[in-house]
Structure 1
Amino acid sequence: MRILLVHQNFPGQFLHLAPALAARGHEVLALTDEKNNRPSPVRVMRYASPGEVTLSSPFARTYAEHAERGFLTARGCRAMRDRHGYTPDLIFGHSGWGETLFLREIWPEAKLLVYAELLYRTRGHDVGFDPEVSPGTDEGRFMTIARSAHLIQGLVQADAAISPTRYQADSFPPELRSKITVIHDGIDTGKVRPDPGATLTLPNGHVLRAGDEVLSFVNRSLEPYRGFHVFMRALPEVLASRPNAQVVLVGGDGVSYGAKPKDADSWKAKMLAEVGERLDLSRVHFLGRVPYDQYLSLLQVARVHCYLTYPFVLSWSLTEAMAAGASVVASDTEPVRELIRDGENGRLFPFFDREALTAALIRGLAGDPEAARLTAAARQTILDGYDLETQSLPRLIEWVESFGPRV
């Protein structure tokens, strides 16, 4: 087949799928934003980056921004069609930024597939989950509906879709859920694995080794959506109880999903102002965003990995921590329960229960007698259902090829 992959930050979720499809003889081309300079495993075309969309109504602005990106993507595709005679058999794009909205009109005969990551919902998900940060107001629910419009339209336009977890697929209503197949992106368990010889050198020169009393916390951004405020409030007691523990946090100071605090420059600054005086900051290490190999080394040296999330998109860091052999303490929220079963392959605690979190972290750092069993079971969970080479990638290839011509 002639396959067009569309993603504003390509390769994104297509990192492994794109070269695998090309290796099977398909003609694979990627289309991405002109400002995206990430290395690509296949040939890339680019569309013009959207400019600023100015509208007085915040409810209309989100859809307008995504529709504008969709228009620029479609305009680029029209040039590919009219100037270069390019016509794909299949288009597979991420629906999150509106890029696929109008592609059906450019190539009406092509199969259109989308990566349906999550549908924002007004109740039962992130909206109103954390009253301290985002109370469930009418206006907040109105905004959620407005932010969902392009996602619904993108799935309506598509022939079929995938989501990485059941929780994320089930965020869509039943009439659209029937279009979605659940296939996780996949974890490279050959690379992401326990390593008793792993080390991590901190900025101060201190070297952490596998087996040391290390607590890891990883997110793209340190923010409440991923429970940063809950984690920080547990640290004073954890550090007081475990005088040899080292805490390593990876993540940027901005926000990826929520909003900045109103009374501080960042959530890191806000939480340090709240609990910093009660912390031994010589043992709390903020690394910011780090290269992948350094991040992986952290997971491999960590005795305990703490993961929290609102009911929202599941982070790769959880699945990779499980594969790397860290003992996971995680929030008992719906997306986490899809992978972690309390006492079987990890420890769960109620998201807002600081005392339960503190106790679980102390127990893990002290040397949970069941840690070996839990970590082995956690890795087996990934091997059985989320392994890139044996599970996810073969299923993704089979799913994409099922929309090709019958031979």
Structure 2
Amino acid sequence: MKILFIHQNFPGQFLHLAPALAARGHHVLALTDEKNQRASPVKVVRYKAPADLKLPPMLGRTFSEMADRGWLTARACRALRDQHHYTPDVIFGHSGWGETLFLREIWPETKLLVYAELLYRTRGHDVGFDPEISPGSDEGRVTTIARSAHLIQGLVQADAGLSPTKYQANSFPPELRQKLKVIHDGINTEKVRPDPQAKFRLPDGRELRAGDEVLTYVSRSLEPYRGFHRFMRTLPEVMRARPEAQVLLVGGDGVSYGGLPKDAPGWKEKLLAELDGQLDLSRIHFLGRVPYLQYLALLQVSRVHCYLTYPFVLSWSLTEAMSAGCYIVGSDTEPVRELIRDGENGRLVPFFDQPALEAALIRGLAGDPEAERLKIAARKTILQGYDLHRHSLPALIDWVESFAP
């Protein structure tokens, strides 16, 4: 088959799937934003990046921006069709940025698949979940509906869609949910695995080893959506109770979801100011964003890994922490419950219960007698259902190939 992948940040979620399909003899091509400089495992062509345009009124802004990107993508596809006589059998694109919106008009007979990551919802998900940060309001809910329009239209246009977890698929209403297949992107469990010999070197030269009293927290950005504020507020009590513990935080200072605080340059600065005088900063290490192998070493030396999230897209870091055999203390929120069962393969605590989170972290750092059983069970969960080569990649290949003409 001729298979065209579309993603503004390609390879994104298609990192393993695109080259695997090429290795099976399919002609694989990717279309991406001209500004995307990420290395690609397959041949890439680029569409013109959207220009900075005068923004329309607020409620129509998101759809207008996504439709503009969709039109630029469609024009690039029209050039492939008219100038290069290219017609794919299957298109598989991420619907999050509007790139797939108009492709049905370019290639009416081509099967169109979308990666449907999440549909924004006004209740029961992230909107209004954390009143401290973003109180629910009519205006906020109306804006959420407006921001969902291109995601709904993207799936309506498609023949079928894919979501990585049941929680994410179930964010879509029943009439669209029936179009979705659930297959996780997959974890390379051979690379992401426990290592009793693991070492992690701190910026000051100190070396931490597997077995040391290390508390880890990982997020793309240090922000409330991933419970950064809840985690930071536990540290005075946790560090008082565990005076030898070292705390390692990975994440950028900006925001990936939500907004910046109104009274500080970023959430790290805001929480450090709030907790001024309560923290032993010599034992707290803000590492920023780190290279992948360094990140893996951090997971491998962790005694307790804390993963908190709003009801939202599940982070790869949780599945990778489980594959690395981490002792996980997670938030008892719906996306986490899909993978972690309290007392079976990790510990869950209510997102807003600070004493419970403190107690769970202290228990793990002190040496939970159940720790080894929970860590083995966490990795087994990934091996049995989320392993890249045993489960995810074969299922993804079969799914795409099922749309062959």
Deviations 1:27-67 (A, max 9, x none): 00000000111111000000001112323421111111111
2:397 equivalent in structure 1:
397
| Contact 1:53-1:61 within 8 A present in 2 as well | no
Give distance in 2, aligned partners of 1:53 and 1:190: 46
1:30 equivalent in structure 2:
30
Counterpart AA for 1:161: G
Q: Secondary structure at the match of 1:278?
A: coil
Give distance in 1, aligned partners of 2:297 and 2:145: 40
1:59 equivalent in structure 2:
59
| Contact 1:332-1:351 within 8 A present in 2 as well | yes
Counterpart AA for 1:264: A
Deviation at residue 157 of structure 1 after TM alignment: 0.2
Q: Does 1:46 align with 2:78?
A: no
- Moved beyond 6 Å, runs of 4+: none
1:206 equivalent in structure 2:
206
| Contact 1:32-1:47 within 8 A present in 2 as well | yes
Give the percent of matched residue pairs that are identical in Structure 1 and Structure 2: 77
Matches within 5 A, 1:307-322: 307-322=307-322
Q: Secondary structure at the match of 1:383?
A: helix
| Contact 2:208-2:301 within 8 A present in 1 as well | yes
2:13 equivalent in structure 1:
13
Q: Secondary structure at the match of 2:276?
A: helix
| Contact 1:313-1:335 within 8 A present in 2 as well | yes
Per the normalisation by structure 2, the TM-score is: 0.99
1:300 equivalent in structure 2:
300
RMSD: 0.6
Give distance in 1, aligned partners of 2:52 and 2:222: 27
Counterpart AA for 2:133: V
Counterpart AA for 2:373: R
Give distance in 2, aligned partners of 1:23 and 1:235: 48
2:126 equivalent in structure 1:
126
Q: Secondary structure at the match of 2:68?
A: helix
| Contact 1:53-1:64 within 8 A present in 2 as well | no
More divergent stretch after superposition (71-80 vs 52-61): 52-61
1:257 equivalent in structure 2:
257
Deviations 1:64-88 (A, max 9, x none): 1111110111111111111111110
1:137 equivalent in structure 2:
137
Per the normalisation by structure 1, the TM-score is: 0.99
Q: Does 1:2 align with 2:7?
A: no
| Contact 2:186-2:386 within 8 A present in 1 as well | yes
Give distance in 2, aligned partners of 1:32 and 1:56: 25
C-alpha spacing 1:276/1:298, structure 2 compared with 1 (3 Å) = farther
Give distance in 2, aligned partners of 1:52 and 1:148: 22
1:80 equivalent in structure 2:
80
Give distance in 2, aligned partners of 1:28 and 1:195: 36
Q: Structure 2, unaligned stretches of length 5 or more?
A: none
Q: How many pairs does the alignment contain?
A: 405
2:174 equivalent in structure 1:
174
Give distance in 2, aligned partners of 1:64 and 1:277: 47
1:192 equivalent in structure 2:
192
| Contact 2:56-2:64 within 8 A present in 1 as well | no
Q: Structure 1, unaligned stretches of length 5 or more?
A: none
Counterpart AA for 1:218: V
